[in-house]
Chains A and B, each alone.
Chain A
Amino acid sequence: MSVSSLQHEELVQLLEVLCEDRLDRQQAARLEELVLGDPEARTLYLEYISLHGTLYWDAARGGVEESELELRVSDVAVASPVTATRGDRRRARAVVAAAAAAVLLVAVGLAMWPSAAPRGSGIVDTDPNRPNRPNRPDGPAVVDGGNGSKVLVDPAPRQPASIVAAPGRQLSNKVTPGSTAKGAVAVPEITSPNPPSTGIRPREGSLAGIVGFVDDRVANGWQDNEMTASEVASDSEWLRRVYLDIVGHIPPANDVIAFLKDRRAEKRAEVIDRLLDDTDYIRHSSTVWSNLLVGRGARREVNRGALEKFLRESFARNRPWNEVVGELVAARGRNDENGATNFLLAHLNNDATPATAITARLFLGTRVQCTQCHNHPFNNSRQQQFHGLSAFFKSTRAAAVGGSEAFELISEPFDGAAYYEDRQGVLHMAPARLAGQRVDLKGVENPRAELARLMTGGSDPRLARAMVNRTWARLLGHGFTSPVDDMGPHNPPSHPEVLDRLAREFVASGFDVKQLVRWICSTRAYGLTSRMTAENTLDDPATGGQPLFSRVYTKPMSVEQLYDSLLVATQADRITASDWESVAANRRRWQSQFVYSFETDENDEAVNFDGTITQAMMMMNGPLIREALSLQPGSYFHQVVHERGSDVDRVKRLCLSALGRYPSSAEMKAIGEMLPLRPTAQARQTPASGPLAEGLEDVFWAYLNSSEFITVP
C-alpha cells in the first residue's frame, strides 16, 4: 500500500504538469512507465484526463447538459459540421453549444448562478416556438454565414464571477461592537437567489452556506446572552493561530511579513487553503491523532512509526474519516506491516477494557468506562452497553511474531458475547451490541470488522458528531460539550444546531476532514481575537459555563507544537542538518522528558507541561535553545546578526520570528534602553558583535521563553 500511494502521489504530480502542458521528455517517460505498470494508475490517468477535458469542454459551454441540447439540436446542428473547416478555431463543440443556444437560450438562472448547482434543471427553455430571450451581451448568437449556412458565433460564454460571498470577506469584516448579530445575518443571505423550480438547494454543502449558518447561530447565542463579541483578531494573531492549528508550528518570519503586507480581503481564506495543502498539515494531523490513539509514551507492542505512517498516508490522501476509523477498528496483521493495528495493540491490557473505552470515547464521543462496573447514575447507559461493546473486542489478541520485534493483532472466532458479574455477584452474558442493536457474532471471522461496519456505515451519527466536536474544540479552544468526548444525553451541547449541521455536512461531504477544518477555520468565531473585552468576560467556559464563542479561547501549545515552533523560530535544525526521521526522533526524545504514563482503564497520560518550573528549566537550559542561540552559520540568529540592516530591524526580525508580530513600542523602548543599539548607517556596514550580539541573544531568549510564545492565541 505504501508503495502504491507514493506512486499515486508521483503520478498525480506528473498529471498536474501534463495538464499545464509542461511535461518534458523525461517526465513523459516516467508517466508512461507508471501508467503502463499498473491498471490502477491507468484508471487514475483516465480520471484525471477526463476531469481536465471536461473542465475544458464545459467551461466554454457554460455547463449546458447534453441531454438538454439534444432535444432541440437538429435544426441547426445539421448544417454546421459540414461547414466546419480545418482552420476553424471555434471547433465542433462550439457548434453544439451554439446550436443549443440558438434554440434554448439558457435563461436567467445560469447566468446568475455560480456554475454547477442548477445544471440539468428545469430552467432551460425547450419550446422552439418561443422567441429567443432578448440578446444579452454575453449570450451566444446565430449569424447568417452568407452562403446559406448558419454560422454560429460563440462569444465564449463565461460564467460571471461568482456571487457567493467570499469567506475571506466575512473574516476580514471589522466587527464593531453592537453590530455583530446583524452582520452575521446579512452575510449568508447574499449568497444566492433560490434556483427556479429545481429542488436543488445549492447552499447545502457550499462553504459560504455552511459558514453563514454557523455564524448566524453563534451570533444568536451572543444576542441571547446580551453579549458583544470580541474584535476580529489582528492579522498576526490570526496567522499564528491558524499556523499552529493546521500545520502545528508558528509561521516563519517571512510568511508573517508577507501576510501583514497583503491587503486583499481573501488573504485569510487563501492561507487556510495553502496550509491545508502543506505537508506539515499531514504531519501535524498524524501527530495529533497518534497521540490520541496510542498516547505519547512508548509501549512494547506499539510500533509508533508504522502507525504514524498509516496516519500520514491517510491524511495525505485526505481519506474519508469513516474509512480511516473503520480500518483502525478492524485492523489485523503485523504491526510493522499494517500500521493501523497499533491502535488496538496499545489497549489490549486489562482484558481489553481500554480498547472498548477508548474506541467509544474517541470515535463515538461516548464514555462507557464507568458503566463497566455499575449502571450510570445519571444517564441511561448500562453495564450491558459497555459489555455489549466490549464483546466485539473479546477475541482480539496480541501475539509476538517470532524472530522479530513485531506483534500481530489477531481476531479469533468466539461465541459472540461478553460475560460479567454485577455488583451482587450475578453472572450476566452481554451479547455484542452497538447503539442498542444486537449483533450475532457467532462464527464471524473478525468481529471487529462487523463493529467497524456498524460504526462507520452512516446509520450511527455519533462518528461524525464526535469528530466535528473534537475538531471544533481543537480549533476554537473549547468543544460544544465538556469534556469533548462525553456527548451523551446527560451532557447537551452548547450549540446543538451548529453541531448537527456540521455533522450532517461532514457526512454529506464523504467525511472530508480537510473540508471540516476549512469550514470551522472560515467561521467568524474562529477569526475573532482571544482577548476578552469588558462585555464578554462572562464567556469563559474554563470556569464551568457554556461556551459562547464570542472570542477564541487560548490553548497551550502541545509539546510537539512547541518543539516544531522552536525549530521554525530559530532554524536550529539547519545547524544539525538532518533528515526527517532523525528530526522526528529528536522531537520524541525531547518530549519524553515531559510525559509520564499510567496503565489505567484509559491508559491515561500526564503531560508535565504547563508552564511549570520544570518546563521552564528545560526550555531555558536545554541543548535545543543553546544551539538555537549559538552564532553558528545557518541558524536564524546568525542570519539576523549578520544581515544588512539597522539594529532596530534586527530586534524586529527576532520578534517576528518568535512571536509573529512586530515589537510593541513599549518593548522597543525597553530594549533600546538595555542594548547599545548603533546608528543606522554604522549598523548597515557591520554585523552586530560583542555586547550588542549578546544583548540580542538575551532579547531572543526572552521572547522564546515568554508565555506568549507557548500559547496558541
Chain B
Amino acid sequence: MGSLLVTEVRITSESSADGSDAGTTMAAPRDEFIKLFTRYQRRVFLYILSQVPNPVDAEEIHQEANVIIWRKFDHFELGTNFLAWSCQIANYEVLKYRERKRRDRHLFSDEFVRQVASDAVEQADELEQRRQHLAVCLSKLRSNDLELIQQRYSAGESGKSVAELIGRPINSVYQSLSRIRRTLLECVNRQIRAQATP
C-alpha cells in the first residue's frame, strides 16, 4: 500500500533544487509551504514516535516521509490542515516500516498503533503547548541534571552509552534519567495547571 503511494508521486520540484528560482511565480505558495513544512517538522516526528517509540527508527521514517511530503507539495491545498496531511503521509511510512520489521523485535500491535495515532492527532495542540512549557522546566533543572539529560539526548547517545562515558553504573544513570524525566513531566503539568487557573 505504501509503495503504491510512492510510485504515484510526481517529481515536481527538481528545478528548485539549487534554490535559485526564488523569484518565480511558484515562490509565494512554495514559501508558504516551506513555512508549514518547517513549523510542523517536530510534530510529525512526534506523531511517528508515538507509534514507533525508538527515536532513531522514528527519525528514519520521518525522513522518508519528508521526501514524500516534499515531492507531493503541489498536491497540498494551502489553507487545509497541513499537520493532518503530513501525518497521513507519515502513516504510510510507518506502515511500510512495520511491514519490514514484522518479524523483528517487539512491535506494538496494530490496534495499539491505530489508537495512539488517532489520539496523537487529536491532542497535537495540547502536546505542542506542553513542549513550550518544557523549555521553562528545563531551565529549572539543577545544572547536573541538565547536563545529564543533554548528554543523554545528544546525537547517537543512549542511557547506556552515557553511563559508559561518565563512568557511572548504568542503573544509577537510568534512575537519574528517570527522575529527571519525571521531574520535567511533573513540572510541565504544573505549568499547564498554573496557566489554566491564573
A-side interface residues toward B, CB under 8 Å?
A: 12, 16, 18-21, 23-25, 28, 32, 35-36, 42-43, 45-60, 63, 66-67, 69-70, 73-79, 81-84, 86, 88, 91-93, 96, 114-117, 119-120, 148-150, 156, 158-159, 161-168, 202, 205-208, 266, 269-270, 273, 277, 318, 320, 457-458, 509-510, 512
- How many residues in B have their beta carbons less than 8 Å from beta carbons of A? 87
What residues of B have a CB within 8 angstroms of the CB of A81 in the complex? 37, 66-67, 69-70
Shortest CB distance A230–B (Å): 26
Contact indicator B138/A115 (Cβ below 8 Å): yes
Given contacts A35-B116, A56-B55, 17 further A-B contacts (CB under 8 A): A19-B53, A36-B112, A55-B149, A55-B184, A57-B46, A73-B35, A75-B19, A82-B17, A93-B45, A115-B138, A117-B139, A205-B139, A207-B142, A266-B144, A273-B142, A320-B190, A510-B187
**Beta-carbon nearest neighbor of B128 in chain A:** A50
Partner of A77, one of B37, B63, B187: B37
Partner of A158, one of B135, B136, B143, B154: B154
Question: Please, how many angstroms separate the alpha-carbon atoms of A512 and B70 in the complex?
Answer: 45
Question: Please, how many angstroms separate the alpha-carbon atoms of A580 and B54 in the complex?
Answer: 38
Question: Please, how many angstroms separate the alpha-carbon atoms of A75 and B22 in the complex?
Answer: 8
**Beta-carbon nearest neighbor of B159 in chain A:** A20
What residues of B have a CB within 8 angstroms of the CB of A96 in the complex? 38, 41
What residues of A have a CB within 8 angstroms of the CB of B140 in the complex? 205-207, 509
Contact indicator B177/A20 (Cβ below 8 Å): yes
Contact indicator B30/A78 (Cβ below 8 Å): yes
Contact indicator A202/B34 (Cβ below 8 Å): no
* A to B contact number (C-beta, < 8 Å): 246
Q: Of the listed stretches B1-9, B95-103, B119-127, name the one at the interface; the rest are far from the partner chain.
A: B119-127
- B80 on the A face (CB < 8 A): no
Question: Please, how many angstroms separate the alpha-carbon atoms of A70 and B39 in the complex?
Answer: 7
User: What does DSSP make chain B's interface, helix, strand, loop or mixed?
Assistant: helix
Partner of A116, one of B19, B138, B153, B182: B138
Shortest CB distance A210–B (Å): 10
Q: Which positions 1-49 of chain B face chain A at CB distance < 8 Å? A: 13-14, 16-19, 22, 30-31, 34-35, 37-39, 41-42, 45-46, 49
Shortest CB distance B105–A (Å): 9
Question: Please, how many angstroms separate the alpha-carbon atoms of A92 and B176 in the complex?
Answer: 30
What residues of A have a CB within 8 angstroms of the CB of B112 in the complex? 32, 35-36
What residues of A have a CB within 8 angstroms of the CB of B158 in the complex? 20-21
Question: Please, how many angstroms separate the alpha-carbon atoms of A86 and B93 in the complex?
Answer: 13
What residues of A have a CB within 8 angstroms of the CB of B34 in the complex? 70, 73-74, 77-78
What residues of B have a CB within 8 angstroms of the CB of A156 in the complex? 154-155
Question: Please, how many angstroms separate the alpha-carbon atoms of A207 and B35 in the complex?
Answer: 38
**6 tightest CB-CB pairs across the interface, nearest first?**
A510-B190, A59-B153, A162-B143, A116-B135, A116-B138, A116-B139
Question: Please, how many angstroms separate the alpha-carbon atoms of A277 and B175 in the complex?
Answer: 10
What residues of B have a CB within 8 angstroms of the CB of A202 in the complex? 139
Contact indicator B120/A148 (Cβ below 8 Å): no
Question: Please, how many angstroms separate the alpha-carbon atoms of A18 and B46 in the complex?
Answer: 15
Question: Please, how many angstroms separate the alpha-carbon atoms of A451 and B191 in the complex?
Answer: 24
**Beta-carbon nearest neighbor of A27 in chain B:** B106
Question: Please, how many angstroms separate the alpha-carbon atoms of A58 and B139 in the complex?
Answer: 14
Contact indicator B38/A115 (Cβ below 8 Å): no
Interface centre among B16, B54, B175, B182 (most CB of A within 10 A): B182
Shortest CB distance A299–B (Å): 34
Shortest CB distance B32–A (Å): 10
Question: Please, how many angstroms separate the alpha-carbon atoms of A19 and B30 in the complex?
Answer: 37
Question: Please, how many angstroms separate the alpha-carbon atoms of A162 and B139 in the complex?
Answer: 10
User: Contacts A57-B42, A84-B67 hold; do A114 and B143 have CB atoms under 8 A apart?
Assistant: yes
Partner of A84, one of B66, B141, B142: B66
Partner of A159, one of B16, B31, B150: B150
Shortest CB distance B78–A (Å): 15
The 28 listed contacts between A and B (C-beta, < 8 Å) are: A16-B177, A19-B181, A43-B123, A47-B185, A48-B181, A53-B55, A54-B42, A55-B153, A58-B153, A60-B153, A60-B155, A74-B34, A76-B19, A77-B34, A78-B30, A91-B63, A96-B41, A114-B139, A116-B137, A116-B139, A148-B17, A162-B147, A167-B142, A207-B142, A269-B142, A270-B144, A273-B179, A510-B190
What residues of B have a CB within 8 angstroms of the CB of A117 in the complex? 139
User: Contacts A25-B106, A69-B38, A96-B38 hold; do A16 and B178 have CB atoms under 8 A apart?
Assistant: yes
Contact indicator B18/A148 (Cβ below 8 Å): yes
**Beta-carbon nearest neighbor of B151 in chain A:** A158
Shortest CB distance A635–B (Å): 28
Partner of A32, one of B13, B17, B108: B108
Question: Please, how many angstroms separate the alpha-carbon atoms of A84 and B71 in the complex?
Answer: 12
- B94 on the A face (CB < 8 A): no
Question: Please, how many angstroms separate the alpha-carbon atoms of A53 and B46 in the complex?
Answer: 6
Partner of B13, one of A82, A84, A166, A273: A82
Question: Please, how many angstroms separate the alpha-carbon atoms of A545 and B152 in the complex?
Answer: 50
Question: Please, how many angstroms separate the alpha-carbon atoms of A32 and B51 in the complex?
Answer: 12
Question: Please, how many angstroms separate the alpha-carbon atoms of A664 and B77 in the complex?
Answer: 81
Contact indicator B106/A24 (Cβ below 8 Å): yes
**Beta-carbon nearest neighbor of A456 in chain B:** B197
Interface centre among A75, A93, A168 (most CB of B within 10 A): A93
**Beta-carbon nearest neighbor of B145 in chain A:** A273
User: Contacts A81-B66, A82-B13 hold; do A54 and B134 have CB atoms under 8 A apart?
Assistant: yes
Contact indicator B150/A158 (Cβ below 8 Å): yes
Question: Please, how many angstroms separate the alpha-carbon atoms of A162 and B144 in the complex?
Answer: 8
- B188 on the A face (CB < 8 A): yes
What residues of B have a CB within 8 angstroms of the CB of A88 in the complex? 63
What residues of B have a CB within 8 angstroms of the CB of A320 in the complex? 190, 193
Contact indicator A51/B109 (Cβ below 8 Å): no
Contact indicator A93/B42 (Cβ below 8 Å): yes
Shortest CB distance B62–A (Å): 6
**Beta-carbon nearest neighbor of A63 in chain B:** B135
